[in-house]
Every structure is written in C-alpha cells, then in structure tokens.
A = this chain, B = another copy of it.
C-alpha cells in the first residue's frame, strides 16, 4: 500500500457543486452549513458536492464510495471539469484546473487526465483499435504512433486479438477492458474511473479488479476510483472516502473505515465486508503496560499486521496470550485468548474490540 506518503498529485480544495437554476443561492446556503435537503427545500437547488477537500498522492489508488446519488460521479467529473464546480479549486500538481481557459483545459484533459466510464463510452462506429486510438487522434498524435500506443494498451489488457472487432461484438467485460486500454493509451499520470466495473458480472468483475491491481503495480498511476461496492473498495483501494449527500463522511485506509466506522451510516454500509481478513493483531491487542508486563514464558509470537484468520490457528495451539511484535521484533502488545475468542464470535464484536 502506497498510501498518502508520496508527493501530492491531485488536490481538491473546498469544492462545491450546486445544480439547478438557483445554484448561487443554493451555494450560499450550503456554505452557511445547511444540509442538502434543507437547501433543496429552500431554493430548489440540488447540492451535488459540499466542501470537499482531498489530497491524493502520486501513485495512490484513491477510492470514493457511497450510495447512489451521493455525488461520486459529480466529484470525479469536477476533477476534469466535465461538470463545472460551483466553488473551490482542483489542483493538478501545481496547476489549478479550475481556473483554466478552454484550450488550456483541453490540453490538460489530453495530457494529464484519462477517464474510464461505467457505461464504457465506446464509439460504436469505430473498431476497438480506433476506439483506443480516438483520444490520441483527438490529441493530434501521429497515425503511426497512435496505432502503436493503442496496440500496446490493448495488449496490456489482453485484447490484442480483438483490435479489428466492433464494440458490439464484445462482451461487457471486454468492452470495459477496451475502456481501460483507452485510458491507459493516453499515458496520463492521472486516471479517473467512474464505477468502471459496476455494470459487470461478479466473476468478470473480480478478474478486472485483479488486472487493475496488477497494472497499477507496474504503471503506478494516480487513480481516483469510484464504486458503490465496499468489497471492491477494500480490495483495490489504498485509501477510501465514503460520501453521503455530497459530503465526505469518512476518509481513511480500508481497515480503518471498516473497523472504525464513524457513524451508524458507515457501519451499515460496511456490514457485508468480510472482517476476518481485515481485523489485525494490532487492532485487537491489549497494549497496556499492565498487559505487557504479564507472564512471558511460553508465549506465541505473532506480527502486528497478522489478520484474524491467521491469529486463530495460533491461538488454538496456544495456552497463553499471544505476543504481538512489530516489524523490528519489538513487543507491542498481547492478545489474551479470551479476547481473541470474543473477536471471533461476530464481526460487530471484533469491530467493538478494535474500537475499544
């Protein structure tokens, strides 16, 4: 996980988006702290985004999730200004895209921002190759080079044999691969993905997630990835932002979000995720001085990032609390077997212990 340590590649500051005729009034009200519903009641304007501030690091895979209508698509479209933000700024490296003139914006879209769509957005009248080459054609890349880059990208997603096919000859998963190849062929540092896998069958979906992760480990792009599926978010994300009604209600690493939901909404949202792969030794260990000073003989040693599924076998063969060590082998806490057993009983208990 490459988390938020690197250089900031994409920075969103105080972003607002209000839809409708009376968007300015709506923006005013929203700024003064009124909720989406209140604003809609008062002015008829729909608040799409409300005071969003995020910094995304170079090479990070940043996931935005939330229920339908929470503003995910609006957010990602404000980044490349397919939707014009009502207020706030979006910075790419050291350039504010929000202030750009039309041709500068077009140039930025061509050079810096690629996008992959839920509905693929393929051009039905063009072959797969021509589809992948389209953004390059638009960007004025020479014919030979764009063919080369398009073929490379299609090879990367495993569609080298299909370059002459028409989109309607492809299955959904293949179409999305084309969409992905098109985004990759643009060779932009930033890739925006709006629910790229939501329209796909679960099996194909997992394949594509794997492929994305593999690709990401080699190309190391900055990716903003939208999904409404927490399993997917947890699987692919370096960090996750959970949105509701146009606001970010929680932002953090996947296990952080799952184990420490800030409120009932996020908890309900995260209920279906398989916790056992998520609860780590560190999250349930007892690191009080008192515990560390307990009986030390015959202890089983586990690493602090070992997950529940690994802890239990260790616990089953142990008779004393498990001993948790960090990367350098220092003792950082202990897990009494009783506590481990309680963590097993149910997801909620595990989360509760983690939250203790």
Using a CB–CB distance below 8 Å, which chain A residues touch chain B?
A: 67-68, 201-203, 228-229, 231, 268-269, 272, 274, 276, 309-310, 312-313, 315-317, 319, 337-338, 340-342, 344-346
**Inter-chain contacts of A202 with B (CB < 8 A):** 228-229, 272
**Inter-chain contacts of A268 with B (CB < 8 A):** 203
**Inter-chain contacts of A316 with B (CB < 8 A):** 312, 315-316, 337-338, 340-341, 344
Known contacts: A231-B272, A268-B203, A274-B274. The answer to whether A337 contacts B317 by CB under 8 A is yes
Cα distance, A229 to B203, chains bound together (Å): 11
Given contacts A276-B276, A312-B312, 20 further A-B contacts (CB under 8 A): A67-B203, A202-B228, A202-B272, A203-B268, A203-B269, A231-B272, A274-B274, A309-B344, A312-B341, A313-B341, A313-B345, A315-B316, A316-B316, A316-B338, A316-B340, A316-B341, A316-B344, A317-B338, A317-B341, A319-B319
Cα distance, A269 to B341, chains bound together (Å): 30
**Inter-chain contacts of A338 with B (CB < 8 A):** 316-317
A interface secondary structure, majority:
helix
**Inter-chain contacts of A345 with B (CB < 8 A):** 309-310, 313
**Nearest CB on B from A209, distance (A):** 12
Q: How many copies are assembled?
A: 2
Cα distance, A274 to B228, chains bound together (Å): 20
Which single residue of chain B is at the shortest CB-CB distance from A269? B203
Which single residue of chain B is at the shortest CB-CB distance from A69? B201
Which single residue of chain B is at the shortest CB-CB distance from A342? B313
Cα distance, A316 to B314, chains bound together (Å): 10
**Inter-chain contacts of A203 with B (CB < 8 A):** 67, 268-269
Tell me if B341 and A309 are in contact (CB < 8 A): no
Cα distance, A129 to B261, chains bound together (Å): 40
Interface hub of A229, A231, A274, A313 (most chain B Cβ within 10 A): A313
Cα distance, A337 to B337, chains bound together (Å): 14
Cα distance, A68 to B67, chains bound together (Å): 24
Tell me if B68 and A313 are in contact (CB < 8 A): no
**Inter-chain contacts of A346 with B (CB < 8 A):** 309
Cα distance, A319 to B337, chains bound together (Å): 12
